[in-house]
Structure 1
Amino acid sequence: MVFGLGPDKFSGFSAADFDAFVESKWSSNRFNMERMKVAGKLAALGKVIGPALEAAGFPLESETSQANPTIFNGNCVDSGWLYFQRRAQDRKMLAALLDKHNTMAKNVADACPHHQHIILFVRVDRAGIEAGLRIHHNAWLDGHNLFDKLKDTWQHELFLGLIAGLSTDLTIDFGTFQTTGGSKVDRDELKRAAQAFGNPTESLLVVQRFGRDHAEIAEPAFAEQLQRLLTTLAPLYQFIAWSKENDHVSIKDQLPAQASPELVSLSSVIEKKARQKKAGIKDLSLAPQRKVVVLKGVFERQKGVVDSIDSKGVAKVLIGNLAVKIPASDLKVVD
């Protein structure tokens, strides 16, 4: 799902879009509207790229990052993201396993959802545009799935072939290893890079950069260029991303077994109430499609409709033609 303020069709990026992320604005709510306009353009890009990925056999969900500074992004918005990730039901299946692996302190320190899973992405900051594939070092499941997969000689060769087939415009940063698309990769160097997983930098970043002065980024046709780029990277995404059919870390047995529909229904109600209390949600009737009023913050006294509530107690609320993320504890049901 995508959130922002902007046109339904992508019209290109302007200097104002990049200036929305100058350092002096990172932690200020005064510039939320500027960043929301960028989020709107990214959402429009998602409407072009998402269907193309699905048509190519890669049905991923798109989302944009928060445009306003909150505790969930460290009160700092230095860039805007459009990212494509595994679908909600698959993320839900993996949530307990990921939470078990990461400490609570680690989850609080980095609550960004696009750091938990492998993604295809478009990123806007002051300098320009980045687009590509990314595994953040917190996306440990997908990262370790790749590294364990590379222990197999045949899979190793397939990975080298995928890298060699990429455009020379792409830069590949893999731990201690850097190269460009189309390059012949040294096997031993790649092995050493894989062993460096878990360092506090990007674990894998395959990216093409466009400076803010590039003429093509101001044109509507730039959407098709990004569509081709991410569609080209989709096979690499599929090669890496963990799934039950691509399980090289042997975790299938750790996933919850399917329960009967009746038990699922009952347990989901109980779990929902427990999550709400744990997240500090005062109004337990809060749920998607409920009308609410904001109790405090930038949107205090504004009314809206809840779109969804995540496991950390953050609600996505539609206020007029805006979609914003607000702690659920700051909302009250009014209908």
Structure 2
Amino acid sequence: MSHPSLHLTARDFDAYAAEKATSKAYSRPRLEVKQRALAWARGVVARLAELGISVDVHGSDEHPSIRNKHRADCQWVFFWRDQAAREELDRLLDRGRSISDVIDDPSPYTRHAFLALRLSEGEVQVCFAVHPDAKVDVDNLRARLSASDDATGEPTSLAAELTSALHALPEQFSFGAGGGDRVDCSAATPEAITEMLRRAADGQVPLWIGWSVPRETAVEHADILDEQLEDALVALAPIYRLVAWSRENDRIALDHKLEGIEQERARAHAELEAENERWRSEQARARERSMEEARARGDERVEASLPARRPTLATLFKAASNAGAGRGEPRHTPKHAGEGGAPARRPQHAEAEQQAKGGAQPRSSAEPAQRAQRGPAGEPDAARVTLEPAKGGVIEKGSRVRVRRGPFGDKIGVVSELDGRGGARVLLGLLSTRLELDDLELVADSRERPALSTSHRKPLAPTPRRAR
């Protein structure tokens, strides 16, 4: 299966000229190169996966941005460790990195060892690079180079393994610090590599191992260059495996540090979660208190808006009894003058008899006032109706009684039932209650019957007879 080709041309190299690097007007041709390079890189990823190296592919920005210092003078295609491995190391690398460092260089490519394809105005190159900021990978490389036999002081197989991998590279490959003087990989020694690491750290440039192809050569051999560049990256894979840190290539016992970091991170997460849970519970309690207070205020407003309660029979009776008890004065029923306390009765036909004896006499001036007080004819005078205790009577069913004491004191009721045990059920208006007979006394109605002018009808006048 054929892979997409890179097929570099002179126009591709010209897109990265120095005078075009800061202009976004040339982003279009640079974008086309980037897209072709990323498509070509998929073939490299597949071949590295066959060797057991899992990598992700990323391309640098084709337009001026903060990641490239606002200069798009080259195009990078990075092959580096996958996202899970990067995040695992970033938690360790970010611990000693200040905010100013992040702002000054937000690019993450300097913190990890990587394989890369780089295209600039004058050349195209494939390389393995590790920046001094990639502390884990640099420390892992230093540990490999410094390993020696305690008895003889000679380098161990770890350093020899790295130098052997460098010697196995094609003779066009070299290594050096950044863009400075470079040495052929065939002449590499542990001491030479250590010296290059020192120069890279002093100049804050990456340690570079790779192959550079000039522009003219690349354009002339464009038909075979794609495959040659792919083979060169695969040839650098052993160098990447020996230098880049992994759990299988751990020369600095970083695995234990990562476990400690994970435990610390888990503990911090648990503390934060507990703090959040406490905050949520406090907020829930505060909401409940607020809702209760709001309900209480609402109930108060509703009660304030309701009209005053209307009096009931119970409250009326209680108020009357409390008022009488508070004054301490017995209630008296007015009595009409008469013998034995009985109300005086007016003869029923007094007026008729007087008219029969003495004839028609003018009525006194006080009589209309008396009639006005009595009210309409045939109705009893309300002022004359009194309730008096019955003398020597017996309380029976249907008797009218007065309550002597208790909450219904001085109330008048009707006996509806006698229980035979010294008590009676008394109807007091709408209420019915059981009271002791000792608390009851009979009352009788005393009223004066209204006087009638006469009980006889006047004879009708005879009808005059018609004359014949």
TM-score by length of structure 2 reads: 0.51
2:111 to 107, 112, 116: 116
1:180 to 180, 184, 192: 184
The CA deviation at 1:11 is 4.3
Compare relative contact order (CA 8 Å, sep 6+) and give the higher one, 1 or 2: 1
Q: 1:231-242 alignment to 2 at 5 Å?
A: 231-242=234-245
The CA deviation at 1:25 is 1.3
| 8 Å CA contact retained: 2:124, 2:218 | no
Report the aligned-residue RMSD: 2.6
The CA deviation at 1:101 is 2.8
Distance 2:92 2:14 in 1: 39
* 2:12 is the alignment partner of 1:9: no
Q: 1:53-92 alignment to 2 at 5 Å?
A: 53-92=48-87
- Matched residue type, 1:231: V
1:168-225 Cα distance to aligned partner (Å, 9 max, x none): 1011115898421223x34444444444452224341012111111156763542221
Alpha carbons of 1:218 and 1:67: their partners in 2 closer, same or farther (altered >3 Å)? farther
* 2:31 is the alignment partner of 1:36: yes
Distance 2:139 2:164 in 1: 20
- Matched residue type, 1:139: A
The CA deviation at 1:80 is 0.3
- Matched residue type, 2:176: D
| 8 Å CA contact retained: 1:137, 1:200 | no
Partner secondary structure for residue 38 of structure 2: helix
Partner secondary structure for residue 182 of structure 1: helix
Alpha carbons of 1:218 and 1:190: their partners in 2 closer, same or farther (altered >3 Å)? closer
| 8 Å CA contact retained: 2:145, 2:190 | no
1:20 to 15, 31, 42: 15
Distance 2:186 2:37 in 1: 29
Which protein is bigger by CA-based radius of gyration?
2
Count how many residue pairs are aligned between Structure 1 and Structure 2: 257
Distance 1:71 1:231 in 2: 31
Partner secondary structure for residue 81 of structure 1: strand
| 8 Å CA contact retained: 1:49, 1:223 | no
Partner secondary structure for residue 150 of structure 1: helix
Distance 1:59 1:253 in 2: 23
TM-score by length of structure 1 reads: 0.70
Structure 2: unaligned runs, 5 residues or longer: 148-154, 277-468
The CA deviation at 1:113 is 2.5
* 2:209 is the alignment partner of 1:206: yes
Alpha carbons of 1:146 and 1:11: their partners in 2 closer, same or farther (altered >3 Å)? closer
Structure in which a larger fraction of residues adopt helix: 2
2:102 to 107, 120, 132: 107
For 1:134, the equivalent position in structure 2 comes to: 129
For 1:164, the equivalent position in structure 2 comes to: 167
For 1:329, the equivalent position in structure 2 comes to: none
- Matched residue type, 2:262: A
Partner secondary structure for residue 92 of structure 2: helix
Partner secondary structure for residue 66 of structure 1: coil
Give the percent of matched residue pairs that are identical in Structure 1 and Structure 2: 23
- Matched residue type, 2:71: C
The CA deviation at 1:251 is 2.6
Alpha carbons of 1:127 and 1:192: their partners in 2 closer, same or farther (altered >3 Å)? closer
Partner secondary structure for residue 47 of structure 1: helix
Partner secondary structure for residue 202 of structure 1: coil
| 8 Å CA contact retained: 2:78, 2:116 | yes
Distance 2:66 2:6 in 1: 32
- Matched residue type, 2:91: A
Distance 1:22 1:43 in 2: 21
The CA deviation at 1:72 is 2.6
For 1:257, the equivalent position in structure 2 comes to: 262
| 8 Å CA contact retained: 2:127, 2:233 | yes
